[in-house]
Amino acid sequence: MHTKFRRHHLNRLIKLRDVMKSAKRTKNGSIFELGKNRVLFEIDIVAADQNSVDVDEDYINAMKAANCGTAACVIGTAGLIPEFRKSGLRTHERINDVTIKYRDGSEFVGDYDEIFSEFFGCSKREAEDICSPYEYDVTNVQPKHVVTKLDLLIKKAKSEIETKGE
């Protein structure tokens, strides 16, 4: 598996893990407070708001019940973190998508695992392991399950960075 971890990737992984740890568990789901946004964690959807097109009514009802304006998965949540938005990671709730906008104005568009891999410096396989609901041994994936996988990836990133002497 090819990875290209650098110090800023490690810092991003740690920030994402810390956000996942901050989720508040309620009867309506796990909720993140990200700036002005209340985000409902839903591993099965990249990102959607209550006005999104082609979003299942169950997600809309879940957002309303949780008093959240957005539902998002791991990479969708990451694209709503203000620090990551400043670095170019953008969640587009209305179209259920995430992109990376570079300083030169160009944009990286891809599947959730490609975006995660590019932004966090891991392989596509490692990104899929974290982002795909099918890679978990539970049916109701919660942020705490994501934290466990992020901890392993952080450990690997630290090891690679130390080996490179960065």
58-105 pLDDT, tens digit each:
888 888 888 888 899 999 999 999 999 999 999 988 777 899 999 999
Q: Which two tokens stand for residue 160?
A: 């690679």
Reported pTM: 0.92
- Three-state SS at 31: strand
| Inside any domain, residue 2 | no
Residue 75 lies in a domain: yes
Total number of domains in the chain: 1
Q: Is residue 1 part of a domain?
A: no
Q: Which of the 8 DSSP states describes residue 59?
A: H
Distances (CA, A) of 31 to 42, 54, 94, 142, 159: 10, 23, 19, 10, 32
Domain of 121? 7-164
What tokens were used for 119? Answer: 């932004």
